[in-house]
Amino acid sequence: MGINAKILSIQQEVNVEKTGFDERQEYYYFKADDVLNAVRKQLNAKGIVTRSRILRWEQENFYDTNGRGRPRTTAEVEVVYVDAESGEEFVTSALATGSDVGGDKGPRKLATQAKKISLLDTFLIGENSDRFDSDNDPEQPAVNMTEPVDPSAGLNDLTAKVGEMIRDESPVDGPMVNAVGTRLAAELGVSGDQKEWKRDVRVMAALVKALENGEAE
């Protein structure tokens, strides 16, 4: 049996269970491990090994709404399926992206996504394909997301939220806010100076969450 026949055989036999669930958009999806584990059993049974290499890649610097750097790596990855007995190859490629605050996990996310995409495409494993069918999508204007977002926008909202908590009839008051904020600043490695941490989006976001959860000093 040649490599093409083995690929066809796996397409006919592989069965993947969806265990991922997106609570925001309410749909089930294949986790990378779901796909990798199911297909690996078939590849092992058919005597097929895989290897991959990056054909081209680029990295762009993006910023989230809090002004934090979130580099995005995009790459075309070649994934090759090799018959262990004959050496015959079945070559595929996948375009994948990986993004992470700080960028340290971006390349790993990219590699995982590329392998998952290749397996889904090669073995015709459908994953909510209609969600990616753009035939009926209206044209949307392009938005430049490469420029840093002013972190003061999110910061102003957080500061206003804290002010509302103090003004409301609640146990939250100025001394409590300062005490909790100073503690959180220390935990996040930010200066304990109130003027400093009150300008830090991370501290203020953690402060709002702590106060909403009823945490005191």
pLDDT digits (tens, 9 = 90+) for 112-129: 999 999 999 999 997 655
Q: How many other C-beta atoms lie within 10 A of the C-beta of residue 216?
A: 11
The confidence score (pLDDT) of residue 143 equals 45
Closest-CA residue to 152 (of 66, 62, 64): 66
Question: Could you tell me if 180 and 206 are in contact, meaning their C-beta atoms sit under 8 angstroms apart?
Answer: no
What is the residue-level pLDDT of the chain in tens, covering all 217 positions? 899 999 999 999 999 988 888 777 777 888 899 999 999 999 999 999 999 999 998 888 776 656 667 788 899 999 999 999 999 999 999 999 888 776 667 788 888 999 999 999 999 997 655 554 445 555 545 445 454 444 554 777 788 888 887 776 567 788 888 999 899 999 888 888 888 888 888 888 888 888 887 765 5
Find the radius of gyration of the CA atoms of the chain.
Answer: 24
Exposed e or buried b per residue across 116-127, where buried means at least 16 C-beta atoms within 10 angstroms of its C-beta: bbbbbebbebeb
Tell me the Ramachandran region of residue 189: left when phi exceeds 0, alpha when psi lies from -120 to 50, beta otherwise: left
The confidence score (pLDDT) of residue 129 equals 54
pTM exceeds cut of 0.75: no
What residue type is assigned to position 117 of the chain?
I
Dist CA 78 CA 137 (whole Å): 30
